[in-house]
Amino acid sequence: MSKAIAKTNYKFPNQTNVYHGKVRDVYSLANDVLVMIVSDRISAFDVVLPKGIPYKGQVLNQIAAKFLDSTRHLVPNWSIDSPDPMVTVGHKCEPFSIEMIIRGYLTGSAWREYKKGARKICGVQIPEGMKEHQAFPKPIITPSTKAEQGEHDENISREEILKQGLVSEGDYKILEEYTYKLFEEGTKMASDRGLILVDTKYEFGKKDGKIYLIDEVHTPDSSRYFYSDGYQDRFDRGEPQRQLSKEFVREWLMENGFMGNPGQKVPEMSDEIVNSISNRYIELYEHIIGEKFIPANGKDAEQRIERNVLESLKRNKLV
């Protein structure tokens, strides 16, 4: 098993800043270009776990790259090049301060609210008499605010977004249009793989007056998938659905008494646990993409990343 790349620290040409997020290390260059390295760090319950997961960064970056390329005809996106299995180079955009969450099914937090009696989520009316994991008559958009580090995202309605001036009405209409288009395409692509795209989130930004899709797309960290096979039988019997997401990591943590609450300690991450999580991510990749996962050469991976990024910047005339 390859060594996990949990942290990077590069000095690229014309570099002006670096931001180390929960999972991604984002390097800003002077000419409005970003170099995003998807590390092998893993987070759950807004906490970065103490050990990285080999190949996780490659899995996430390559899934996102695949979907960014395949949806470029529908929605402009920030990606210019993906020169390394763990890296995307793209346009630096001014991000909108909201995330566009779209749901095709009454599942997860939406179901928990519904079960408590809520019939409106983010200002969207939900029909009476629905069951857990039931498809909505048509997908609904339930935006959330993008929280500062250490804080939680919060649900917000379209009306409140416009009232607070977080997004102009004209821009919000475009965000809605792009969100529906991307979800429709993602649903078709998932169906081809025997999967159901249940819900996902999209982030958008603006550069030179143009709106771009930014960040990851349709990855198991940002999306929830069900297996199509057996969905209806399980639904009819009121049984849990077979999911394809990183929910298994949260479940392992909860089984070991951790939900990110004050005073709770992250359970010991043995090599066996780390390797099992890595194998699950590889399995996710192969199901979602429909191709065999080919692990990148882990030997001298840090040097490989730097070399590939520098070649990309020169090739694309970005330095």
User: Average per-residue pLDDT in the chain?
Assistant: 94
Q: Say what the pLDDT of residue 224 is.
A: 94
**Count of domains in the chain?**
1
CB 86 within 8 A of CB 37: yes
Give me the domain span that covers residue 149: 95-244
Can you tell me the distance from the alpha carbon of 4 to that of 84, in angstroms, rounded to the nearest whole number? 15
For 161-199, the pLDDT digits (tens) are: 999 999 999 999 999 999 999 999 999 999 999 999 999
d(CA 213, CA 8): 25
Instruction: State residue 34's pLDDT score.
Output: 97
* Residue 151 binned pLDDT confidence (cut-offs 50, 70, 90): low
DSSP letter at 15 equals E
Helix (H, G, I), strand (E, B) or coil at 67: helix
Determine, yes or no, domain membership for 270: no
Q: Does residue 82 form part of some domain?
A: no
> How would you classify the pairing of strands 135-141 and 98-105?
antiparallel
Burial class (CB in 10 A: 0-12, 13-18, 19+), 206: middle
Give how far the C-alpha of residue 122 lies from the chain's centroid of Cα atoms, to the nearest Å.
21
d(CA 289, CA 214): 20
Helical segments of the chain, H only = 56-70, 109-115, 158-164, 169-192, 231-237, 247-255, 271-289, 301-315
pLDDT greater than 60 at residue 204:
yes
Predicted pLDDT at 147: 65
Q: How confident is the model at residue 299 (pLDDT cuts 50, 70, 90)?
A: confident
Neighbour tally for 157: CB within 10 Å: 15
Q: Confidence band (pLDDT; 50, 70, 90) for 258?
A: very high
Asked if 65 and 59 count as a contact pair (C-beta separation under 8 A), the reply is no
Q: Read off the pLDDT of residues 40-84 as tens digits, 9 standing for 90 and up.
A: 999 998 899 999 999 999 999 999 999 999 999 999 999 999 999
Cβ-count burial of 289 within 10 angstroms (0-12 exposed, 13-18 middle, 19+ buried)? middle
Confidence of residue 1 (pLDDT cuts 50, 70, 90): low
Q: Is the pLDDT of residue 5 over 90?
A: yes
In a domain, 59, yes or no: no
Q: Is 251 part of a structural domain of the chain?
A: no
Over range 254-261, report the average pLDDT.
92
Asked if residue 21 is part of any domain, the answer here is no
Domain CATH number, residue 193: 3.30.470.20
In a domain, 10, yes or no: no
Mean pLDDT of 146-172: 86
Predicted TM-score (pTM) of this structure: 0.92
Predicted pLDDT of residue 149: 53
For the segment 8-34, the average pLDDT, to the nearest whole number, is 95
Query: Would 128 be classed as within a structural domain?
Result: yes
| Residue 6 lies inside a defined structural domain of this protein | no
